[in-house]
Amino acid sequence: MGLQKNRGCGLLTKDNTGERVTIAGWVQGRRDHGGLIFLDVRDRTGIVQVVFDQEKSKSFFDQVEKIRPEYVIAVEGSVIPRSREAVNPKLKTGEIEISADALEIFNPSLTPPFYIEDGIDTDENLRLRYRYLDLRRPEMLELMHFRHKILLETRKYLDKEGFWEIETPMLTRSTPEGARDYLVPSRISPGSFFALPQSPQLFKQLLMVSGVEKYFQIARCFRDEDLRADRQPEFTQIDLELSFSTREKIMAIMEGLVRHLFLQVCGEEINPPFKVLSYQEAMDRFGSDRPDTRFAMELFDVSEIAAKCQFRVFQNAVTSGGVVRGLNAKKCGHYSRKEIDDLTALVKSWGAQGLGWMIVTGDGFKTPLAKFFDPVLLDQIREIADAREGDLLLFIAGDKEKALDILGQLRVHLGQREGLVSPGEKKFLWVIDFPLLAYDKEGKRLTSVHHPFTAPLEEDRPLLASDPLNVRSQAYDLVYNGVEVAGGSIRIHRKDIQEEIFALLGLTPADIEEKFGFLLGAFQYGAPPHGGLAFGLDRLIMLMAGRKSIRDVIAFPKTAAGNCLLTGAPAPVFAGQLAELHISPVLREDKKKG
Residues 90-132: pLDDT tens digits? Answer: 999 999 999 999 999 999 999 999 999 999 999 999 999 999 9
Residues 252-296: pLDDT tens digits? Answer: 999 999 999 999 999 999 999 999 999 999 999 999 999 999 999
List the one residue out of 290, 464, 439, 310 whose CA is nearest residue 374. Answer: 310
pLDDT of residue 502: 95
Mean pLDDT along residues 458-462 = 96
What is d(CA 219, CA 230) in angstroms, rounded to the nearest whole number? 17
Q: Which of 109-113, 253-257, 319-323, 557-561 has the lowest mean pLDDT?
A: 557-561
List the one residue out of 299, 314, 434, 450 whose CA is nearest residue 369. Answer: 314
The number of helices, as runs of H, and strands, as runs of E, in the chain is: 18, 22
Mean pLDDT along residues 314-327 = 96
Confidence tier at 373 by pLDDT (50, 70, 90): very high
Residues 188-228: pLDDT tens digits? Answer: 999 999 999 999 999 999 999 999 999 999 999 999 987 66
Mean pLDDT along residues 502-527 = 95
Indicate whether 590 pLDDT > 80: no
3-state secondary structure 440-488: CCCCCCEEECCCCCECECHHHCCHHHHCHHHCEECEEEEEECCEEEEEE
pLDDT of residue 379: 95
Residues 400-411: pLDDT tens digits? Answer: 999 999 999 999
Specify the fold of 9-107: OB fold (Dihydrolipoamide Acetyltransferase, E2P) (2.40.50)
109 CB-near residues (< 8 Å, 6+ apart): 26, 68, 69, 70, 71, 72
Mean pLDDT along residues 545-559 = 95
Confidence tier at 423 by pLDDT (50, 70, 90): confident
Pick the CATH number of 295-420 from 1.20.120.450, 3.30.420.40, 3.30.1360.30, 3.40.640.10: 3.30.1360.30
pLDDT of residue 81: 97
pLDDT of residue 581: 92
Please give the DSSP secondary-structure letter assigned to residue 169.
-
Mean pLDDT along residues 73-87 = 96
Percent of the chain clearing pLDDT 90 (strictly above):
91
Handedness of CA 435, 352, 228, 563 (dihedral sign): positive
Residues 10-35: pLDDT tens digits? Answer: 999 999 999 999 999 999 999 999 89
Mean pLDDT along residues 224-241 = 86
Helices 537-544 + 138-160 axis angle, to 10: 120
pLDDT of residue 50: 97
Q: Which of 278-292, 413-427, 523-537 has the lowest mean pLDDT?
A: 413-427
pLDDT of residue 332: 97
Indicate whether 593 pLDDT > 70: no
What is d(CA 552, CA 231) in angstroms, rounded to the nearest whole number? 12
What is d(CA 447, CA 438) in angstroms, rounded to the nearest whole number? 6
| φ/ψ bin of 196: left (φ > 0), alpha (ψ from -120 to 50), beta (otherwise) | beta
Mean of the per-residue pLDDT values of the chain? 95
Mean pLDDT along residues 167-181 = 87
Indicate whether 592 pLDDT > 80: no
Residue 470: phi, psi to the nearest 5?
-100, 15
Confidence tier at 178 by pLDDT (50, 70, 90): low
The angle at the Cα of 211, spanning 210 to 217, to the nearest 5 degrees, equals 80
564 CB-near residues (< 8 Å, 6+ apart): 128, 556, 558, 570
- Domain ranges in the chain? 9-107, 295-420
Percent of the chain clearing pLDDT 70 (strictly above):
97
pLDDT of residue 151: 98
What is d(CA 83, CA 101) in angstroms, rounded to the nearest whole number? 20
Residues 325-365: pLDDT tens digits? Answer: 999 999 999 999 999 999 999 999 999 999 999 999 998 99
pLDDT of residue 588: 67
List the one residue out of 48, 26, 46, 8 whose CA is nearest residue 110. Answer: 26
